Structure 1
Amino acid sequence: MYNKVKTKLNIIFLSYIQDTDSCWPTNPCKEDTRCLPTHLNGHACLTFVTPCTASPCKHGYCNITNDGYKCTCDAGCSGGSCEITPCTASPCIHGYCKMTNDGYKCTCDAGYSGVNCEILENPCMPDPCRFGRNCIVCEGNSYRCSANLGVIC
């Protein structure tokens, strides 16, 4: 069974890319290449490549299949090349998104909180009013600037 699988993989996926014209014991290959005989009665430095060599899976693992490769995406990621992440849709309204093992986590800008940084904690902090005016918190987490303390929203 093992020999059949090994042979099948060698036939389908064994591929080399030539790096230099020739190699000999006095002219060895660079790292990550092998000196192998060519069909022209010589030797060449060759690099082994597979469909996964180019790392096509952005946020996942590449698995060789009969058709080439298939990506197994990290948790929360999707797409043929695992290119869609939990942060792709920019879920952090007032902050930035970072992928985690469980999906994503938002780091909120100053003054915002909530899972997606959607809650304005205090619209008067930091103080948006200028010229000595007072900041008054109004309904719906909005604010109003006034020079008179008795002003109501």
Structure 2
Amino acid sequence: MKIILTQDVSGVGEPGDIVDVKNGYGRNYLLPQGFAIPWTKGAEKQITSIKRARTAREIRNVDQAQEVKAQIEALKVTLRERAGDGGRLFGSVTPAEIVDAVKAAGGPELDRRRLQLAGHIKSLGSYQVQVRLHPEVAATVTLDVVADK
């Protein structure tokens, strides 16, 4: 049985790995426990998201988190959005858009679930966004939302 692991399974593999296991082991243990998902053609997108989350979680110690924090806080992140006459956005800024803007500004790839927004960003201006890099370390990204011409 071909499956995709979603969690680390001792002796089998890590999250995102595609492995062949015996039918009973996969059907009776790995799938019901949520350790794996069945391999399908459409599961390729899920594999990439699991691997992206794994790289975002690679910040293991406080020293590495402090280095990434310094790198993030030195960035100038600008996000161009469509806005109306009063500076109100058409829609709102999503965490995925913020992550893409940080990466485009030369920063590291972040996990969107680690962002802490005070509320919805629905107008032009400057915002402070918290990023939890480690349980003891949080970085602050200054995000400038400007009108797209």
TM bucket, shorter chain: under 0.3
TM-score, structure 1 normalization = 0.21
Structure with the larger helix share:
2
Q: Which has the larger radius of gyration?
A: 1
Higher relative contact order (CA 8 A, sep 6+): 2
